[in-house]
Structure 1
Amino acid sequence: MNIGSIKQNDNGIYMGRISTLAVAMTIALRAVNSPNPKAPRFEVHALGPNRNWVQVGALFELHSNNTGEAFLNGRIDDPSLAAPLQVSCFRQDDGSYNVVWSRPTRRR
């Protein structure tokens, strides 16, 4: 289910909005520069009620097993949320990302 989108603004910052029945937040992505290959690609920051940015998650770059296409995957969490949002971000032809939510499946 598509719950938002992220676009690069004129300053080169990826910004967007996530909206569900219980959540409405403006988000920004900050690139993580790390030599560690297991480090996230982006930190996710949300605009708080006092107009301050708060880190609420991280996105890791993964690749599809079928197509090899890169996408971002991670979760957004905050004490105000009932449960973390598991999200994937898929790059579009115009360079923006669609944010897709999925309920985690339990392992057997």
Structure 2
Amino acid sequence: MSNIGKFRCTNSTDPLSELIGVIKTVGFFGKLAIVREGSGSNPNTPSHRIYLVSDEVGRIEVGAAWSQTIKRGLRDGEQFLSASIDDPSFAKPLSFAVFQEDEDSWTATWRRRKDAA
């Protein structure tokens, strides 16, 4: 896995309500806000929306994230976000995961998905 970004929570009493940070790859660099949305009745509905944050135009929605729970290992039971952003300039969406590192710091990681054989 490659670390492609860092985020910090804006609300210490509810860390996953909003994360602000940066994603940086060879082909993309942007300041993002990951914001929790109201819970819907459909379990497949994203738990969060992702916005590109720009001084010129404010926030532009570029993706979504789903709250997940780690199911094994030392971090069993911890929450993380499975996220995806997209843009007309991308060949395909950029998918990544966001894991908590400490009390108010989160790391975005990317791993190339294996093609089905």
Determine if the alignment matches structure 1 residue 89 to structure 2 residue 94. Answer: no
* Identity level (%): 28
Q: Which residue of the partner structure matches residue 26 of structure 1? A: 31
| In structure 1, C-alpha distance between the alignment counterparts of 2:29 and 2:52, rounded to whole Å | 10
Q: Calculate the TM-score normalised by the size of structure 2.
A: 0.79
Aligned-residue CA RMSD (Å): 2.0
Instruction: Give 4+ residue runs of structure 1 displaced > 4 Å after superposition.
Output: none
Instruction: Measure how far apart 1:95 and its partner are.
Output: 2.4
- What is the correspondence of 1:63-78 to structure 2 with a 5 Å cutoff? 63-66=69-72, 67-78=76-87
Instruction: Measure how far apart 1:107 and its partner are.
Output: 2.5
Instruction: Measure how far apart 1:69 and its partner are.
Output: 2.1
Q: 5+ unaligned residues in a row in structure 2: which ranges?
A: 12-16
- SS, match of residue 22 in structure 1: coil
Instruction: Measure how far apart 1:54 and its partner are.
Output: 1.1
Contact 1:18 1:25 (8 Å CA) reproduced? yes
Aligned match for 1:50, one of 49, 56, 72: 56
Instruction: Measure how far apart 1:94 and its partner are.
Output: 2.0
Supply the AA of the counterpart residue of 1:70: Q
Q: Aligned residue pairs: how many? A: 107
Seen in structure 2, the aligned counterparts of structure 1 residues 80 and 103 have a Cα distance that, compared at 3 Å, is same
Contact 2:18 2:36 (8 Å CA) reproduced? no
Determine if the alignment matches structure 1 residue 35 to structure 2 residue 37. Answer: no
Q: 5+ unaligned residues in a row in structure 1: which ranges?
A: none
| In structure 1, C-alpha distance between the alignment counterparts of 2:40 and 2:54, rounded to whole Å | 30
